[in-house]
Amino acid sequence: MDIQSIKRRFGIIGNSPVLNRAIEVAYRVAPTDLSVLILGESGAGKEVFPQIIHQYSARKHGPYIAVNCGAIPEGTIDSELFGHEKGSFTGAHEKRSGYFEVADNGSIFLDEVSELPLSTQVRLLRVLETGEFLKVGSSKVLKTNVRIIAATNVDIIKLLGKGKFREDLYYRLNTVPVYIPPLRDRKEDILILFRKFSMDFAERYRMPEIILDEEARQMLIQYSWPGNIRQLKNITEQISIIEKNREIDAGVLRKYLPDYSEEKLPALINSAFDKSFASEREILYKILFDMKSDITDLKKLVHEIIEKSPHDINIESDHLMDKLYSSDEAAYDKVASRLPDLKRDNSSHIEDTEEIIEESLSLQDKEMELIRKALEKYGGRRKMAASELGISERTLYRKIKQYNID
């Protein structure tokens, strides 16, 4: 196998070992009929590898169909993939063949396969296992001889845990995985790609090629490239069109790198950000220490009140009791119960008060009181009393016996 000839044939640019490994795996699995799952971030160039697999397989003379599963509405995806019968749903004015029928003896590339609905995943699993499928609105089983190549830019393992992707389908698709590295893991290829894109746009727009100075080249290499090759190509095109000066320095390049910050670079730089972060951290520590000190004082106060009699307690300030009330009302209630001569008014201050008369909140006591009042109101007539209370006369009789009400 000559990897360089494959690169030239499919327009692949780069010499990084991880890229060469992906090409090698795709080439070696091509002659088989195994299902292949291509993994990689968006914009990393996954769409080229299904073509490599198809062109170096025995199916190269058969049809090749690429389907973006994420771009097809959920309501029509089954019809697109498997076809439908006339009248099977609203708008089905005629019979239609799906991609699996059209691509018989060829290959289908299912991009963004993780976007498939669960119902469609069941249909796809049947094709992988038996080569059979049903058109929408038909009961006739059809056969197809199609090789399936799928791709995704998300972690399907996480989708399995959430129940959004079938585990059996995942293992059927993932017979041979091909991992496409992100651009940040191909640093040696970044300048080569930039130069290629710069030359292409210079030729397309009939203008001189843009050139980077040394600092700009290093910035390009160290940038994280979340959009991968697609993002690099777009930025190169923007600079080619917008900038009059064809020699680009780091200051100009920085304007075209979204969310550019030195923290994304591997170089260790002591920036103002680090100092401000350290300052904020010191402030947080100080607040935590102050809170700990307040909590310690409150604990001492609670302990003093619980252990000593109220006459021996020396309350340093109302402010401390305010803290106790605002931080732990349960603790405040416990303290207040030991201080019958103290209470909190509407303005949240503690002041002297007279005797506190506690009212019973027992449901049983309240129920007994209401039954007695109803019987007194109607002169002992249970039927009238039961109607007033909203219960049956039998229930009232049972309550009278239960509470021993005269």
CATH code at 184-264: 1.10.8.60
Cα–Cα distance, 229 to 184 (Å, whole number): 10
pTM: 0.62
Position 265 scores a pLDDT of 47
As a whole number, mean pLDDT of residues 201-223 equals 94
- Backbone phi, psi, residue 132, to 5°: -110, 150
Measuring CA to CA, how many Å separate 376 from each of 225, 253, 360, 399, 405? 85, 92, 21, 15, 12
Domain ranges of the chain: 3-181, 184-264, 293-352, 363-403
Nearest to 154 by CA among 235, 44, 34, 2: 44
- Residue environment code for 328-338, b if the CB has 16+ CB neighbours within 10 A, otherwise e: beebbeebbee
How large is the C-alpha radius of gyration of the chain? Answer: 38
- For residue 44, give the amino acid letter: A
- The encoded tokens of residue 36 equal 């292949």
363-403 classified as CATH 1.10.760: no
- Residue 112, sorted as left (phi over 0), alpha (psi -120 to 50) or beta, turns out to be left
**CATH architecture, range 3-181:** 3-Layer(aba) Sandwich (3.40)
Instruction: Find which of 223-232, 263-272, 383-392 is predicted with most confidence, using mean pLDDT.
Output: 223-232
Position 222 scores a pLDDT of 93
- For residue 139, give the amino acid letter: S
- The encoded tokens of residue 121 equal 């995943």
Cα–Cα distance, 370 to 224 (Å, whole number): 75
Cα–Cα distance, 342 to 257 (Å, whole number): 66
Position 109 scores a pLDDT of 97
Residue 261 DSSP one-character state = -
Give the contacts of 213 (CB within 8 A, at least 6 positions apart). Answer: 247, 248, 249, 250
How confident is the prediction for the chain on average, in pLDDT? 82
Instruction: Point out the least confidently predicted range of 212-226, 261-275, 377-391.
Output: 261-275
As a whole number, mean pLDDT of residues 229-256 equals 94
